[in-house]
Amino acid sequence: MKFTVGYQANDDLKEAVIENRGKITEIYFPWGGFTSGRGVVVDKFEQRKMEEDLDEYVAEGLGANLLLNGNCYGRHAQSRAFFNSIGDTVEELVGRYKLGSVTTTSPLIAKFLKVNFPSIEVRASINMEIGAIDGFEYIAEWFDSYYLRREYNYYLSKLKAAKKWCEENGKKLYLLANSGCMNFCSAHNFHDNLVAHQHEIAEMDNAYDFRGICHGFFSKQQNKKSMLRHSNFIRPEDVDLYEGLCEGMKLATRTNRSPGDVLRAYCRGHYSANILDLTEPSFAGHLYPSVIENGKISPEYARHRLSCDKDCRRCSFCEDVQEKATVNLEQT
C-alpha cells in the first residue's frame, strides 16, 4: 500500500518520511491564506519552514498535493479574484514543486482546475463525504479521484463497488486510514465550517467553545466502552486487507502529537501501543488511565467488520474486542 502524508513542521516526521519514501507517493499541505480542513497558514515563519521542507521532499522524489479543502470560502467562494489567486498559486507550485494534484471540497475549484490545469489530478476531499456511486457520477466531469467517506472503510461491498466504478471510469479511489472521528457524526459539517472560519472566530468575543460533540460523547462513562464500534480507522496490521480496493491511503498527520510514529507504524504494518495514539483526533485522554493495547486486538477484528451485517445495536463484537484489549496502566 502507498500512503499520502499530511505535512507538519516536525523533524521526526521528516525523518520518518525520508526513511520510508518508497512507500509514500505524496505530501499534502495547505498554502498561505487559503483555508483548508485545518484552517489557514497565518504565520510567515511557519509558511517559510513549510516551503523549505517541501523543497526537500520534492528533491527526494515525493509528489506534492495542495489542499484547497476548506468546507467554506465565504463570500470569496465564487469571486473572480479568488480564482485568479488560485490560478497564480497553482502555477507557482507547479513550477516550484511539480505540483501533481489538488484535493478540494469545491466543485467550482475542481472545474477551474480542470479547465486551466488539465494535467493536474483533482481529488474529491474526504470532507465531501461521498459514499455512493451516484455521488461519484454527479461530479465525474471535474474530478479525477475520490476519497470514499470514512464510515465505509469497513463496508466491503461498498468498497468493491466504488473501486469497480472507478476502474471502469478511469478514476482513482483513496481511503483515509487513521481518522479518529466518530461514524456518521451529526455535527461534522458544522465543525468543518467552524474550522474554515477559525481565524475569524478567534477575533470574536465568543459565548461558547466547541471542540466537537465527540469529546462530550466519549467523556461519558457509558460510551467509553464502545470507542471501537463508533470508529472507522484502519489498523496498520489490517492495511493489507485493502490491497486492490484503493489506489492508496491518506494518513492524517497534520496535528497528531507524534506524526512520525503514525507513519512508521503504517509503513511497518505493526504497532504495539495504544491504538488511539495513531488517530487524528485522538480520544485517548478520555479513556486514561486505560489504553486500548493494539497488540491485544483480535487478528480477526478487521476481517469481521468488513463483512458483518452492520447491525451494531444487536451485536457486541467490537465492544468485546475492545474490552479484551483494554489495559489499565495503574493496575499493571
Looking at the domain assignment, is residue 96 inside a domain?
yes
- Mark the ranges of the chain whose per-residue pLDDT is less than 70: 38-42, 332
Q: DSSP code of 39?
A: B
What is the pLDDT at residue 42? 60
Looking at the domain assignment, is residue 244 inside a domain?
yes
DSSP characters for 267-319?
A: HHT---SBGGGGSBS--HHHHTTEEEBGGGS-TTHHHHHHHS---GGG--HHH
Residue whose C-alpha is closest to residue 109's, from 70, 145, 147: 70
CATH number at residue 23: 3.20.20.60
What is the pLDDT at residue 39? 63
Looking at the domain assignment, is residue 315 inside a domain?
no
What is the pLDDT at residue 29? 95
Contacts of 13 (CB under 8 A, 6+ apart): 5, 253, 259, 260, 263
Looking at the domain assignment, is residue 311 inside a domain?
no
CB-count exposure of residue 300 (10 Å: 0-12, 13-18, 19+): exposed
Looking at the domain assignment, is residue 247 inside a domain?
yes
Domain that holds residue 53: 3-286
DSSP characters for 224-243?
A: HTTTTTT--PPPGGGGGGGB
pTM of the full predicted structure?
A: 0.95
Scanning the structure block, which residue is given the C-alpha cell 488539465? 118
What is the pLDDT at residue 193? 87
Number of domains in the chain: 1
What is the pLDDT at residue 194? 87
Q: DSSP code of 5?
A: E
Whether residue 30 has a cis bond before it, omega within 30° of 0:
no
Report the sign of the C-alpha dihedral through residues 56, 61, 67, 68, in that order.
positive
Q: For the CA atoms of the chain, what is the radius of gyration?
A: 20
Query: Alpha helices, DSSP H only, in 169-270?
Result: 188-196, 198-201, 213-218, 221-224, 259-268
Looking at the domain assignment, is residue 152 inside a domain?
yes
Residues of 206-243 as b/e, b for ≥16 C-beta within 10 angstroms?
eeeeeebebeebbeeeebbbbbbbbbbbbbbbbbebbe
User: Would you give the distance in Å from CA 221 to the centre of its chain?
Assistant: 28
What is the pLDDT at residue 38? 67
Looking at the domain assignment, is residue 238 inside a domain?
yes
What is the pLDDT at residue 198? 83
Question: Phi and psi for 118 in degrees, rounded to 5?
Answer: -60, -20
User: Would you give the distance in Å from CA 24 to the centre of its chain?
Assistant: 15
Looking at the domain assignment, is residue 320 inside a domain?
no
Q: What is the number of other CB atoms lying within 10 angstroms of the CB of residue 59?
A: 9
